Amino acid sequence: MTALTILLVLVLLLVVFGLLFRLQIFTSIFSGSFTRDIGVSNSVNAILMMVFLVVGGAWFAYSFVENFNKMNPPIASVHGHKMETMFWTTMAVIGVAFAITQILLFWYAYKYQHKDGRRAYFFAHNNKIEVIWTIIPAIVMASLIFAGWKAWTRITGPAPKNSVVVEVMGKQFNWLVRYPGRDMKLGVINYRMIDAVNEWGFDLSDKSAQDDFTTNEIHVPKGVPVLIKIRSRDVLHAVYMPHFRVQMYAVPGMPTRFWFTPTTTTDEMRAKLGNPKFNYELACNQLCGGSHFAMKATVIVDEPDDYQNWYAAQQSFTQKNPDVMAAFKQKAKTMVTPVAAAPEVEAAPMPLAASN
Amino acid sequence: MSDLTPKPNFSASVQAAGGVGSAPVPATEHGDHLHHDDHEHDHHDQHWLWKYVFSQDHKVIAKQFLITGMFWAILGGTLSSLFRLQLGWPEGTMEWLKPVLGHWIEAGKLNPEFYLALVTMHGTIMVFFVLTAGLSGTFSNFLIPLQVGARDMASGFMNMLSYWFFFLSSIIMFSSLFIETGPAAAGWTIYPPLSALPQAIPGSGAGMTLWLVSMVFFIVSQLLGGVNYVTTVINLRTRGMSMSKLPLTIWAFFLTAILGILSFPVLFSAALLLVFDRSFGTSFFLSDIYIAGQALSNQGGSPVLFQHLFWFLGHPEVYIVIMPAMGMVSEVLATNARKPIFGYRAMIGSLIGISLLSFVVWAHHMFVTGMNPFLGSVFMFLTLIIAVPSGVKVFNWLATLWRGNIRFTAAMLFAIGFVSLFISGGLTGIILGNATLDIQMHNTYFVVAHFHLVMGSSAFFGLFAGVYHWFPKMFGRMMDEKLGYIHFWLTFVGVYLVFMPMHYVGIAGFPRRYYAWTGFDAFSQFADLNKFISIAAIIAFLGQFIFIFNFFYSIFRGRRATMNPWNSTTLEWTTPIVPGHGNWPGEIPAVYRWPYDYSKPGSEVDFIPQNVPYSQTQSSNLPYEQELAD
């Protein structure tokens, strides 16, 4: 309500400006052809430049500090902490450049405002200065590029051999999650086999698909590398887990991946934040349709032992859906040609859990 | 009509021949002849249609682009106010908008799919229809012939077609707002498969078809315009106007046109392939899709391929938007600081550097699409290098202000505002261009804040600077300065209040294109800030009506302008107050010096126009200039 009031007041102010303008026009309308005199308005604008610099700078500094905690949600992955350092280091570098250039800009605007009788300094070029302000930024950029490149190579490099594997598949508008089951192999899936029950399109003629299990939440162990394999079955989505500094698109027809090592369990983070309801979240971050904004999943980081227990307690897809398995066996018996032949070709992008 | 049309070209080509140094006199005769001819036609009732509507005069076409662009800007701004209402007050009722939005308001709430349509159309309108056609279309058209000293564009007919293709494109895009299933809603980047499948979102039905058809006409318009600009700059410069004497505006328009010619056809091909996928069952961008209870037969396509094609245009496009603004700002800063632009050659060099680099950085929009990480490294390297020429430009602008004698015209204020916004927005590009940091920042409000400052608001500020500065030459009257000041300060403060806090939201990881964030713990802490941003945005938008009022009022009732109200050096100010068809009534002036002889020591006046020979300025000539005079 207050906001609306403010809005109304400002609209009224605009109207007042408009009326003032009319008056001003009426008083000056007969003054004939335009000649521009550099009068009071010039120094008013020059002063406003300084006011903007000081007040604007103070407001920016204040609001930045005020919001600093909000803009730093907790981080819970190994590379996330390093990225955070790099982020704020880069922010500091650009902050210095920002401050210097903005201060000079408004200061010059104020200081070199028009004065009668003074003449601008005819200073057309100076190659030495040009070279200096080409080379210094180039050196700074080179060091940023080098740091960024090293971290990027490490983060996007192959996942460690002992990684835990979980696969997520985006669909309008939720995330499907599956684990490889006891054989530690993700089974073959085929989008043509998708239906209301078999949301993943498990190809049950592949033995390793029979023990895969699906869940609603993503569970991962603390302190162990986690390899997230990513698919989409309809449009583009993106796996975005801001607390872990993880983001990768889910692309139909092209499996992608991202690995990271969680550092803090959900319980630890709840205690740390004093928020018993806290959860790590997975958000969709590539526009995927009307309910894009509501497409999320919960990520739970467990102690490794808890994770093992949880893992062992899960029922596979075929155990949960015995009728699907029965139907498959029935079909396999009656069919002359084995179903397995064709989908085998598509097994290529579905490697062992540990391999990369 | 038929006997009128070829003449500007004819006289222009004679004048070009004169430019080589052979015969300036015939140019004069033809110029005069043309002028009289034109005059007679003015009195002929039948021809108003050809004079004001299907005109081939570059100045009329420029105004057509400008006014169409203003229409689009108001519409684009209105759309943004609508979705800012939604973001600021996610729980509030929108029932009062039902008379306007009809079935897109359901039970007092904005339909989420329509929210996406608003975002999509806002982006499309602002990037293409306002900041490409409205900015570059207006000022390339208006200034190129006037500043290089030509009677008109190389081909007036193609120039006219350029506008009317744009007009057709506008009509189609506008009509898509009113269809049952709504306009395109897959984001202005129209990534397939979302944009390819009507099952995925209703906007990808007829709305997307109209979007694609409209863009095809738009691209045709851009190419017709671009070819004309390049040809005119290369061939129709007046005597003495070597490339190293061109104002920086012309260099910027010239390079912008080249970027457009080289990159828009790639968008055309992407659009064409998307049309094939949508309508003819091909699989360029589609593969392994199960949607709406049905497995599609498309296999082997790659959505990432579309992104490569799109951004091969899309990235140069942001420079197509910003470079004309850079050129005009350089001009306005030098004129009103009464100082030569600092480092003229470095400014040209950095424009060329930016133009070249702009073609090899497109994949920085795609670091986390699953593209090979090695490619990411290469594009990170190339992207961050762009900071160097951009930095050179900023330092040169600052050095131009240093020890100047600054007049704060409305145009000057907007030029200074441009530099400030360009710095603020450009620096965060260093974060986003870093592939490692982009993992977290990609598609968040940090990106939204970054590009709205560096290419959105900055380009708008360049546009405003241009309008305030060249309005006297366009309409023969002055815009009101006081209103210009109010407009500037309201907009400048407003833009910062909107986009600075947006960075905070983005750093926290708030995703863009979210209808509401209330479902996520991580993002729900910014309710107040979102409200604040919305209020600031709506006020800043309303402030633009001061400009609209000032503009139209001044066309009819503004104070009468003089020939050269800003004491500027470039050629357009040597024309009559309102130049007629053919621009100069007599001979086209020859050019003897560079465009930035402001406050030259030894000269009595503080500016020496480009058409004043060195022989007349003995007292102020530099040694090498004196040699030319002797």
What sign does the CA torsion over B447, B450, B453, B455 have? negative
Domain definitions of chain B by residue range: 55-286+298-557
- Which residues are paired to B295 by β-bridges? B290
**C-alpha–C-alpha distance, residues B195 and B184, integer Å:** 8
**A292 and B514 in contact by Cβ < 8 A?**
yes
Residue B419's φ and ψ, nearest 5 degrees, are -60, -45
Q: What is the pLDDT of residues B264-302, one digit of tens each?
A: 999 999 999 999 999 999 999 999 999 999 999 999 999
pLDDT tens-digit series, residues A143-195: 999 999 999 999 999 999 999 999 999 999 999 999 998 888 999 999 999 99
Structure tokens at A334: 């009656």
Distance CA B549, CA B264 (A): 34
- Strands (E) in A127-251, as ranges, are 164-171, 174-179, 213-215, 218-221, 226-232, 237-241, 246-250
The CA distance from B443 to B445, in Å, is: 7
In a domain, A272, yes or no: yes
| CATH classification at residue A211 | 2.60.40.420
Q: Is A7 on the interface with B (CB under 8 A)?
A: yes
Strand pairing class (B105-106; B109-110): antiparallel
Judged against a pLDDT cut of 70, whether residue B46 lies above it is answered with: no
What span, in angstroms and rounded, lies between the C-alpha atoms of B466 and A143? Answer: 38
CB atoms within 10 A of CB A106: 23
Task: Please report residues of B whose CB lies closer than 8 A to that of A174.
Answer: none
3-state SS assignment for residue B78: helix
Residues 21-60 of A with CB under 8 A from B: 21, 24-25, 28-29, 31-36, 38, 41-42, 45-46, 48-49, 52, 56, 60
In this structure, is residue A69 part of a structural domain?
no
- Using one digit for the tens of pLDDT, what is the confidence trace for B237-255? 999 999 999 999 999 999 9
Measured between CB atoms, does B179 come within 8 Å of chain A? no
Tell whether A98 lies on the interface with B, counting CB pairs under 8 A. yes
Q: Give per-residue pLDDT as tens, B429-449.
A: 999 999 999 999 999 999 999
Residue A264's nearest CA partner among A61, A77, A86 is A77
Alpha-carbon distance of A156 to A241, in angstroms, equals: 16
Residue B421's closest chain A neighbor by CA? A102
Chain A residue at shortest CA distance from B384? A141
Count A/B contacts: CB-CB distance under 8 Å.
379
**Which region holds residue A243: left if phi is over 0, alpha if psi is between -120 and 50, else beta?**
alpha
CB proximity A247 to B under 8 Å: yes
- Hey, what CATH class is B55-286+298-557 in? mainly alpha
Q: Do B191 and A42 touch (CB under 8 A)?
A: no
Residue A302 within any structural domain of the chain: yes
Looking up tokens 């004069």 gives B28
Average pLDDT of chain B is 90
Other C-beta atoms within 10 Å of B181: how many? 17
Number of domains in chain A: 1
Give the span between the Cα atoms of B491 and B483, in whole angstroms.
Answer: 12
Q: Between chains, do B373 and A60 touch, taking CB under 8 Å as contact?
A: no
**Exposure string for B121-154, b = 16+ CB within 10 A, e = fewer:** bbbbbbbbbbbbbbbbbbbbbbbbbbbbbbbbbb
For residue range B504-563, list pLDDT tens digits in order: 999 999 999 999 888 887 778 888 899 999 999 999 999 999 999 999 999 998 999 999
Q: How confident is the model at residue B500 (pLDDT cuts 50, 70, 90)?
A: very high
Both tokens assigned to B473: 């030459």
Q: Please give the helix or strand (H or E) that residue B110 lies within, else none.
A: strand B109-110
* Cβ of residue A85 closer than 8 Å to a chain B Cβ: no
Q: What is the pLDDT of residue A346?
A: 39
Gap between the Cα atoms of B377 and B307, Å rounded: 18
Which candidate from B194, B549, B598 shows the least CB-CB separation from A120? B598
Compute the distance between CA of residue B415 and CA of residue B398 in angstroms, rounded to an integer: 12
Percent of chain B with pLDDT over 90: 81
Asked if B178 and B251 count as a contact pair (C-beta separation under 8 A), the reply is no
Work out the pLDDT band at A24, boundaries 50, 70, 90.
low
Task: Give the span between the Cα atoms of B515 and A295, in whole angstroms.
Answer: 11
Residue A81, both tokens: 């902490």
Q: Which pLDDT does position B38 carry in this prediction?
A: 45
Do A121 and B526 count as a contact with CB atoms less than 8 A apart? no
- Confidence (pLDDT) at A71: 87
Do B393 and B349 meet the contact criterion of CB atoms below 8 Å apart? no
Instruction: Looking at the complex, report in whole angstroms how far the Cα of residue B16 sits from the nearest Cα belonging to chain A.
Output: 30
Instruction: Name the residue in chain A with its Cα closest to that of B374.
Output: A153
Instruction: Check CB contact under 8 Å for A71 and B507.
Output: yes
Other C-beta atoms closer than 10 Å to the C-beta of B116 total 29
- Is A63 inside a domain boundary? no
Residues of chain B contacting A106 with CB distance shorter than 8 Å? 420
In contact, B423 and B392? CB cutoff 8 Å = no
Question: CB-based contact (8 Å) between B552 and chain A?
Answer: no
The confidence band for B229, taking pLDDT boundaries of 50, 70 and 90, is: very high
Average pLDDT, stretch A129-144? 94
Measuring CA to CA, which residue among B513, B481, B440, B482 is closest to residue B201?
B513
Residue A99 inside a domain? The answer is no
- Determine the 3-state secondary structure of B607 from DSSP: strand
Least confident of A175-179, B31-35, B93-97, B98-102: B31-35
Instruction: Determine the distance in angstroms separating the CA of A305 from the nearest CA of chain B, rounded to an integer.
Output: 27
Shortest CA gap B225–chain A (Å): 33
Is the distance from CB of A122 to CB of B599 less than 8 angstroms?
yes
Token readout for A338 is 């084995």
Cis peptide before B280 (omega within 30 of 0): no
Please report which confidence band the pLDDT of residue A264 belongs to, taking 50, 70 and 90 as the band edges.
very high
Percent of chain B residues past pLDDT 70, beyond the cut: 93
Residue A139 near chain B (CB below 8 Å): no
pLDDT at A33: 46
Confidence check: pLDDT of A242 > 70: yes
User: Average pLDDT in the B363-384 region?
Assistant: 94
What is the separation, in whole angstroms, between the first and last Cα of chain B? 48
Q: Residue A205 falls within a domain, yes or no? A: yes
With b for 16 or more beta-carbon neighbours within 10 A and e for fewer, the B613-629 pattern comes to ebeebeebbeeebeeee
Chain Cα centroid distance, residue B5: 29
Per the listing, tokens 């930016």 go with B354
Residue B8 has pLDDT above 50, yes or no: no
Q: Which residue has the higher pLDDT, A28 or B163?
A: B163
* pLDDT at position A135: 95
Residue B74: pLDDT band with limits 50, 70, 90: very high
Average pLDDT of chain A is: 87
Instruction: Determine the 3-state secondary structure of B624 from DSSP.
Output: helix
Q: What are residue B298's phi and psi, to 5 degrees? A: -65, 130
Q: Look up the pTM and report it.
A: 0.90
**Pick from B504, B549, B598: CB nearest A70:** B504
| Residues in A 292-351 with any Cβ partner in B closer than 8 A | 292-294, 296
Q: Domain limits at A262?
A: 164-345
Give just the sign of the alpha carbon dihedral A66, A67, A70, A76: negative
Q: What is the reported pLDDT for A25?
A: 63
Query: Contact A156/A148 with Cβ under 8 angstroms?
Result: no
Task: Please indicate whether, in this complex, the C-beta atoms of B200 and A288 are within 8 angstroms of each other.
Answer: yes
* pLDDT at res. A31: 52
Per-residue model confidence (pLDDT) at position A37: 64
Q: Nearest residue on chain B to A297, judged by CA atoms?
A: B520
- Helix, strand and coil content of chain A, in percent to the nearest 5, comes to 50, 20, 35
**Mutate: best of A103, A260, A273, A292, partner B, most B CBs <10 A:** A292
Q: Is A159's Cβ below 8 Å from some Cβ in B?
A: no
What is the greatest pairwise CA distance in chain A?
102
What is the C-alpha to C-alpha distance for residues A71 and B506, in angstroms, rounded to an integer? 8
Residue type at A321?
N
A130 is a domain residue: no
